Amino acid sequence: ISMARMTQRDRVIQYIKDFGSITRAEAFNELGIVELAARICELERMGYKFEKKTVYRENRYGEMIHFTKYTLKKDAN
């Protein structure tokens, strides 16, 4: 399947398989996907299982921010 014909769900799964995990920023910057959480919910309804880890980082202004990092569970598709 060429990247042009892949659905956003397909792209999310392929990205995780290629890079190990995905965040909202990566989904937007690398895949053009704005609503990553919606795609994750759809994939879960399709049977995929994800580990969801909250990551805390300091932003450029010294403020603590947090975001979710998704990985496929080992027993997942």
Per-residue pLDDT averaged across 29-36, rounded? Answer: 97
Cα–Cα distance, 5 to 55 (Å, whole number): 32
Exposure class string for 10-22: b at 16+ Cβ within 10 A, else e: ebbbebbeeeebb
- Note the pTM of the prediction, 2 decimals: 0.85
pLDDT digits (tens, 9 = 90+) for 43-68: 999 999 999 999 999 999 999 999 99
Cα–Cα distance, 55 to 63 (Å, whole number): 14
Cα–Cα distance, 7 to 34 (Å, whole number): 13
